[in-house]
Structure 1
Amino acid sequence: MNKIWKQYAKERYQRVFGILALWGFLNFYLFFLCDADFYVWDLIYLNLLLGSVAVCVLVCDFFRYRRLQKCLVGEECKEQELEKLMGMQIYRAWKQEEEQQKKELLQQKKYLEDLSDYIARWSHEAKLPLAALKLMNGRNENEELRKEMESSIARLESLMHTVLMGSKLERPEHDVKFERILLEEVIKESIQNQAFFLIRNHFELDIQVKDIWIYSDRRWMVYLLDQLIGNAVKYKKENPKIVFWAEEKEPGQVRFGIQDFGIGIPKEELPYVFQKGYVGKNLRKGNYYSTGMGLYFVEKIGKLLHIKISLSSEEGQGCCVTLDFQNLSEYFLTETDR
């Protein structure tokens, strides 16, 4: 598109230059070569006439440029009008570039689909050797080694799930199903997914959510909570605890919060925590280090599910992530359900 605009601007400059060249030539010819037979007032009158014509041409050109801008940013325009505004040569170049961009987008989409399918197949195939490892580890007589193996296997399963869901986020348009779900059930399902790490780290769980319904996609909501619970595990302190609470502000509008009491996030890092790959200074002690992808996925899923997500934290006091659900009952409920 930049190339097209440059070509369009070049034509406009050539037109302005042509007008100025014509004006300069007429003045030179009439003033210096015909001065004996030409009156000064006639020359002034001719300059005023040429100036008026030039102003009219430039004003028309400006409005033509503004109209072309509106057409190119999305306003409905007929193909004949675009061709007239651009000129045949520029219009053809623009159509060729547009077709090339469409081809590139289709190629990129196909590449993402192939990559997502490959990751899905790989994830499913990798479950078999992991299941075998679990069975073999169950016969391991070394208790300390068995626990370490259990931790590594659980970690691999979690990473495989993250890879699979992360690849689906690149093309989620056919993978979202909104339905009326009980929030408490979603919380318990996510807790079950993270049970190994929660039990091993002796987490206390406080679920202050009863009989609250939301409209969302169950699988994506569970994955979103998996990320938040996973973060609470990674950045825990002694006597770790997670509190889940929810309130219905208005009919259909729910505010849901997940509060942990871990090491927290420094105030200066809060504006960046949802950025892809951002890693703060508070890395978990031990073998694991943050990848900076968890909260990035959380925000991306929030946009996918139309959830407003906010995070507050104080260093040393933990974090609270708040999810505000919109009232979608008008879109999903029948009259008998309301």
Structure 2
Amino acid sequence: MARSISWRPLASYFFMLFVFYVALRFYVGESVNAWVVVFISLPFAIVLYWILLIRIRGPLAEISEVTKEMARGSLDREIRIYSDDEIGDLAKNINLLGRQLKQTIGEITEEKDRMGAVLNSMADGVVAVDGDGRILLLNPAVVRALNISGESCKGKDIVGVIRHLEFEQSLKIALETQKELALVIKALTPDPMYYRVIFTPLKGAGKGGVVALLRDITERRELDQMRSEFIANVSHELRTPLTSIKGFLETLLDGALEERETAIRFLKIINAETDRMTRLIGDLFSLSEIESGKVVPDREEVSMARIVEKVFSIFSHSAGERGIELNCHVPAELPVIIGDEDMLTRVVINLVDNAIKYSPDNSRITVEAGCSGKNEVMVSVSDQGIGIPEENLPRVFERLYRVDRARSREYGGSGLGLAIVKHIVDVHGGRIEVTSRLGRGSRFTVYLPVKLK
């Protein structure tokens, strides 16, 4: 406050009063004594200056101090001037301006935080660049997807941050043409990932910026690939028996019908191939119904011990013909589970059937059941068969996937048995695991939740 005091107003008032008094004395025709004029003008000048200091300069100094704080971003302090003159009106208006600025800044901050929360929560990546290709913003999805740093990238050239040739070329085209552009890129981060990138002009950004939206389509491409493989496998599985049937029929039509033994042998082969197609189509239909949810499992008490006993009776004859020993280890007091008995019976049938198909003669198959200690019933089927290579284990439950197509075709497998098992176990809230050693055999273990009391 002391620094703002200036003596120039006091000198101005003194000089003004001095001149006024001298002029007045001359006007009335009296002589002028300079010292008298000084002693008369000086008190009046001091009084006027004091009034100026109290009424004007003091409030203006407070207004100046508050406005400087407002310029620095502090909007909490208000001017404490409540007079009814022009200075009071000015103080009221500045206070009102400060309150409105504070409210506006709060709303802008809240909106910015809301938009930031939306961007941070998006599964799709968002990158905005200005007309020179410098990064304006990017959300965490981009940071995770492309394995780059976040805040440190802002203001940098995007070409130096996202090193991808197709992305750079498309961004350059989008910046130059200011038209929407879409493409699919492959990124190694470190696993191969596929992204659909859409470049859109950034409206209202001055020098023509661009917003890039990155959507992860890796899973979709994998599904498309699986669908293509499935269609190709189904076509192959149907074409093979149909080709065989057609060849034998043509041979029969060409005169083989006259040779009774040959005709009967050909007809048996045709019948076997027809049964194979029927099983394939039936399994496809069953799997489709389970996957689509059209088949809803019954919810009833089921004894896995009874199911294992039933399956043993079904396969005892076919296993005995090849000298395969079926062993069963099921405790008497096995907890019951809630599920569909027919569907769960099919699970055990498919597992035992697979074990018999891929086991050598005079080998052993063991079915065990028990409690896993996690409120689950465990049923496992172990064999001494050819085994499964470790790299193929993650795919054994895929539809129509076969480790050895020639051997599977020899034993009449459709390639859908394990896929059906997996889906039935899933709809019962369970899980299935597989372990295998090539040339030593495989073990499939199903875990199903027990009925809780």
Instruction: For residue 169 of structure 1, give the secondary structure of its aligned residue in structure 2.
Output: helix
Moved more, 141-150 or 164-173: 141-150
Q: Where does residue 222 of structure 1 map in the other structure?
A: 345
Q: What are the equivalent positions in structure 2 for 1:301-312 lying under 5 Å apart?
A: 301-312=424-435
Cα distance change, pair 145–180 in 1 and its aligned pair in 2 (3 A) = farther
Whether 1:320 and 2:370 are equivalent positions in the alignment is no
- Asked if the contact 2:400–2:415 (Cα under 8 Å) also holds between the matched residues in 1, the reply is yes
- Asked if the contact 2:397–2:419 (Cα under 8 Å) also holds between the matched residues in 1, the reply is yes
Matching residue within 72, 86, 109 for 1:59: 109
CA distance in 2, matches of 1:174, 1:285: 28
Instruction: Point out the structure with max Rg over C-alpha.
Output: 2
CA distance in 1, matches of 2:288, 2:317: 25
Alignment deviations for residues 305-331 of structure 1 (CA, whole Å, 9 cap, x no partner): 11221111111111101112222233x
Instruction: For residue 265 of structure 1, give the secondary structure of its aligned residue in structure 2.
Output: coil
Q: Which has the higher contact order (CA 8 A, sep 6+)?
A: 1
The one-letter code matched in structure 2 to 1:209 is: V
Q: Where does residue 236 of structure 1 map in the other structure?
A: 359
Instruction: For residue 284 of structure 1, give the secondary structure of its aligned residue in structure 2.
Output: helix
Deviation of 1:258 (Å): 0.5
Moved more, 246-255 or 209-218: 246-255
The one-letter code matched in structure 2 to 1:61 is: E
Deviation of 1:304 (Å): 0.5
Cα distance change, pair 295–145 in 1 and its aligned pair in 2 (3 A) = same
Deviation of 1:226 (Å): 2.8
CA distance in 1, matches of 2:306, 2:343: 14
Cα distance change, pair 195–167 in 1 and its aligned pair in 2 (3 A) = farther
Higher helix proportion: 1
Q: Where does residue 54 of structure 2 map in the other structure?
A: none
Q: Where does residue 246 of structure 1 map in the other structure?
A: 369
Q: Where does residue 296 of structure 2 map in the other structure?
A: 175
Q: What are the equivalent positions in structure 2 for 1:264-303 lying under 5 Å apart?
A: 264-281=387-404, 283-284=406-407, 287=410, 292-303=415-426
- Asked if the contact 2:367–2:381 (Cα under 8 Å) also holds between the matched residues in 1, the reply is yes
Aligned-residue Cα RMSD (Å) equals 4.5
CA distance in 1, matches of 2:452, 2:366: 27
Deviation of 1:54 (Å): 7.4
The one-letter code matched in structure 2 to 1:167 is: S
Matching residue within 209, 221, 231 for 2:330: 209
Cα distance change, pair 223–62 in 1 and its aligned pair in 2 (3 A) = farther
Deviation of 1:269 (Å): 2.1
Cα distance change, pair 179–264 in 1 and its aligned pair in 2 (3 A) = same
Q: What are the equivalent positions in structure 2 for 1:92-107 lying under 5 Å apart?
A: none
| Structure 2: runs of 5+ lacking an equivalent | 1-63, 76-97, 124-259
CA distance in 2, matches of 1:197, 1:218: 23
Alignment deviations for residues 82-125 of structure 1 (CA, whole Å, 9 cap, x no partner): xxxxxxxxxxxxxxxxxxxxxxxxxxxxxxxxxxxxxxxxxxxx
Q: What are the equivalent positions in structure 2 for 1:121-140 lying under 5 Å apart?
A: none
- Percent sequence identity over aligned pairs: 20
The one-letter code matched in structure 2 to 1:64 is: R
CA distance in 2, matches of 1:205, 1:277: 27
Cα distance change, pair 60–311 in 1 and its aligned pair in 2 (3 A) = same
Deviation of 1:201 (Å): 4.8
CA distance in 2, matches of 1:193, 1:290: 18
Alignment deviations for residues 191-218 of structure 1 (CA, whole Å, 9 cap, x no partner): 5666786466553322222533431211
CA distance in 2, matches of 1:61, 1:155: 65
CA distance in 2, matches of 1:46, 1:179: 75
| Structure 1: runs of 5+ lacking an equivalent | 1-38, 74-139, 331-338
Cα distance change, pair 272–148 in 1 and its aligned pair in 2 (3 A) = same
The one-letter code matched in structure 1 to 2:109 is: V
CA distance in 1, matches of 2:326, 2:280: 23
The one-letter code matched in structure 2 to 1:305 is: H
Q: Where does residue 386 of structure 2 map in the other structure?
A: 263
Cα distance change, pair 210–223 in 1 and its aligned pair in 2 (3 A) = same
TM-score by length of 1: 0.51
Instruction: For residue 420 of structure 2, give the secondary structure of its aligned residue in structure 1.
Output: helix
Deviation of 1:252 (Å): 5.8
